[in-house]
Structure 1
Amino acid sequence: MDSFSHQRFTQRRISQQALADWRAQGRLNADDLRTAWQPTLPATADWQHWLDRVLLSLGTALLCAGVIVFFAFNWADLHKFSKFGLLAAVLTLLAGFAAWRPSGDLAGRAALAGAQIVSGVLLAVIGQTYQTGADAWQLFALWALLATPWALAARAAPHWWIVLVLGNVALLRYCSVNLGIGGMFELLFSARWARETMLFLLGLAVVQLAVWHGLAARAAAFGFRGMTGPRLIGVLICGYAGWVATASVVLDHFAALTFLVSAAALAALGAWVRWRAFDIVVLSLVCLTGIGIVVMAAGRGLVSIDGDFGAFLLLALLTIGLAVAAATWLLRAWRAESGAESGGEA
């Protein structure tokens, strides 16, 4: 979503929240509410713009998938120089098309996104053609490095999402290789230093969030804007914090220090997205993760003391109570933020 579209969406949301509040306070009747609500709905042009963006993104993804399937299906029939030449030609065409289009054009940005994906295909073809024994994390790390210039050229947030995903996949794979594990998802319970490794990844995710917000404040023109990028990193922080807390609770000896560190990271993220960079999506995920780790910690204590049916009943009541409290707090935070934005707009 570009900045203009995001601003229009935000204004419509604020207007709808204000109208709903006025209706709840009795300041609007049903007919007046219906009349005032109609202009806040998306117009036909808005839906057409959204459909153009969706179809363009889907078409770009399908074309990149087609390139990958083409090389996979015809691998044995193509000479290695033919493979490199075809990929170089595709990259040249995409770059040329993007350079030909006006600055900020959606089609040009889609071509640059395709170039980011095709760069990874080129690296994979080189790795398959010349077997060097390199691990997959090196492919993703180099892919993220090659995707960065295309993101700088595009100056759009979605291109940085690709860099974020590739870089974090490389980090996960690197850690799993260093721990001697075959798969990334075995990091939780199957390695000796898994908990410390996940704590390291949690710290890196926090650094990524700080870097993103710093760049958004000073280099927003390069594409560091919008909410999706911080949300992706927020998902990582919640996942790693929940992962560390889970490992600290379910292993033989309760690791209080790592549990408290993960809880502190989660609380810091919640405070940030509540009072500094409000985001109800990440805030909800923080609450969900927090409920999970609190229930796990309480469950370990209750089961060790009394493992009968009463312990599970108490856990169920605790889960319901925490969920109700979190939902109430989230609703109040949403209304408070919407009211503040509405007052600022006025």
Structure 2
Amino acid sequence: MLGADGVAAGWPGTEPDAAQWRTWLDRTLLMLGAALLCAGVIVFFAFNWQDLHKFAKFGLLAGALTLLAGFAWLRPPADMAGLAALCGAQVVAGVLLAVIGQVYQTGADAWQLFALWALLAIPWALAARAAPHWWVVIVLANVALLRYLSVRLGVGGMFDLLFGAAGERATTLSLLVATLVQLMLWFALRAVAPVDGFRGLAGARILATLACAYAGWLGLASILHNRFDPAMFGVAMLALGGLLAWFRLRAFDVVALSLASFSVIVLLVTGVARLLLEGRRDAFGAFLILGLLTIGLSAAAAAWLLRAYRHHGQAQSGAPNGEPA
């Protein structure tokens, strides 16, 4: 029997020590405080909207933006408080755009707000030279893309776009391609401009999560449709296979590998479920097979991930290849 010590030995260096916990707690509380301050600004304007003159709204937001930028400018480089202030400036810039749109009704759609917000967030990210500020840009850009496609297809919202719109598979394919392009751009920038904040794992993980979600939904839509679409299913599996190969061989990340493996398991089990359950009345045996298949695929994926993690750790430490004793 493999005891707890044996299990822990398979994941060396993954348990944080006391100093790492303190660092994580300091950064988490700082980010939480910045997020609460930004939320307070938004709630203040929402609650007092009718009582504030338009120039008062603009002046308060411009003053907050100036104070945040000035505070960050006075702090030393790479200071966490200064970086949090720049992140707050990114958010307040978007609030200012929203207020301008509410005061001067131009008929512009929400996707334009998020697109301009993403563009305005880029200079703050360049000033901060920290990865979290680029995460904000990534999220805003992808929200703008989702909203733009929902408007182009004439559906009510972004969830309708993925779960009920006509042409949902073509739309999901477009989103998948766009996310893969962003992922390639992120790694290219990480190679040539790490000093500007293109570093770390979280940015790639955000984009990998989106890519796995879009590939998974594309594959599910092709399976669950009235007529099975082998082309779209093949594209989804090809995208997931590419992600598995990239994050295993070129930019190892066990989290991204886990997400892609989970998506592959979901698609395979769903495909087998359609084959077994379509046109059958007695489904007990089919569900038993599906349960065993899910357990088997999950165990195989876990074993593969563990071997990949050990091999990567040995390669990083310079140890010879092969399984540890």
TM-score for both structures, normalised by structure 2: 0.91
Structure 1 residue 56: deviation in Å? 1.3
1:51-200 → structure 2 map (5 Å cutoff): 51-200=25-174
The amino acid across from 2:315 in the alignment is: A
Residue 324 (structure 1) aligned with residue 324 (structure 2): no
Residue 260 (structure 1) aligned with residue 234 (structure 2): yes
**Which runs of 4 or more aligned residues in structure 1 lie more than 6 Å from their structure 2 counterparts after TM superposition?**
none
Q: 1:342 aligns with which of 313, 317, 320?
A: 317
The superposition leaves residues 51-71 of structure 1 with CA deviations (integer Å, 9 ceiling, x where unpaired) of 321221111111101111111
Residue 323 of structure 2 corresponds to which residue in structure 1? none
* 1:188 and 1:247 in contact (8 A); partners too: no
The amino acid across from 1:293 in the alignment is: L
The amino acid across from 1:164 in the alignment is: I
Structure 1 residue 304: deviation in Å? 2.3
Q: 1:225 aligns with which of 190, 196, 199?
A: 199
Number of positions where the alignment pairs a residue of Structure 1 with one of Structure 2: 312
The superposition leaves residues 31-61 of structure 1 with CA deviations (integer Å, 9 ceiling, x where unpaired) of xxxxxx9xx9624x44433332122111111
Bigger relative contact order (CA 8 A; separation at least 6): 1
The amino acid across from 2:308 in the alignment is: A
The amino acid across from 1:311 in the alignment is: A
The amino acid across from 2:128 in the alignment is: A
Residue 285 of structure 1 corresponds to which residue in structure 2? 259
Inter-partner Cα distance in structure 1 for 2:252 and 2:16: 24
TM-score for both structures, normalised by structure 1: 0.86
Inter-partner Cα distance in structure 1 for 2:319 and 2:74: 41
Q: Evaluate the alpha carbon distance shift between residue 326 and residue 56 of structure 1 in structure 2; reply closer, same or farther with a 3 A threshold.
A: same
1:214-253 → structure 2 map (5 Å cutoff): 214-253=188-227
Query: Any stretches of 5+ residues in structure 2 without a counterpart?
Result: 321-325
1:19-34 → structure 2 map (5 Å cutoff): 20=9
The amino acid across from 1:73 in the alignment is: F
Residue 314 (structure 1) aligned with residue 289 (structure 2): yes
Inter-partner Cα distance in structure 2 for 1:49 and 1:235: 26
Inter-partner Cα distance in structure 1 for 2:21 and 2:166: 52
Identical counterparts, % of pairs:
62
Inter-partner Cα distance in structure 2 for 1:127 and 1:139: 8
Inter-partner Cα distance in structure 1 for 2:9 and 2:57: 59
The superposition leaves residues 61-105 of structure 1 with CA deviations (integer Å, 9 ceiling, x where unpaired) of 111011111111111110000000010011111111111111111
2:226 is paired with a residue whose SS is: coil
Structure 1 residue 344: deviation in Å? 6.6
Residue 209 of structure 1 corresponds to which residue in structure 2? 183
Q: Evaluate the alpha carbon distance shift between residue 229 and residue 344 of structure 1 in structure 2; reply closer, same or farther with a 3 A threshold.
A: farther
Inter-partner Cα distance in structure 1 for 2:157 and 2:77: 42
Inter-partner Cα distance in structure 1 for 2:301 and 2:231: 25
The superposition leaves residues 125-165 of structure 1 with CA deviations (integer Å, 9 ceiling, x where unpaired) of 11111111111111111110110100000000000000000
The amino acid across from 1:343 in the alignment is: G
Between 1:109-118 and 1:336-345, the stretch displaced more is 336-345
Residue 11 of structure 1 corresponds to which residue in structure 2? none
Structure 1 residue 323: deviation in Å? 0.9
The amino acid across from 2:9 in the alignment is: A
Query: Any stretches of 5+ residues in structure 1 without a counterpart?
Result: 1-15, 24-36
Question: Alignment RMSD, CA only?
Answer: 2.0
Structure 1 residue 312: deviation in Å? 1.9
1:188 is paired with a residue whose SS is: helix
Inter-partner Cα distance in structure 2 for 1:305 and 1:330: 37
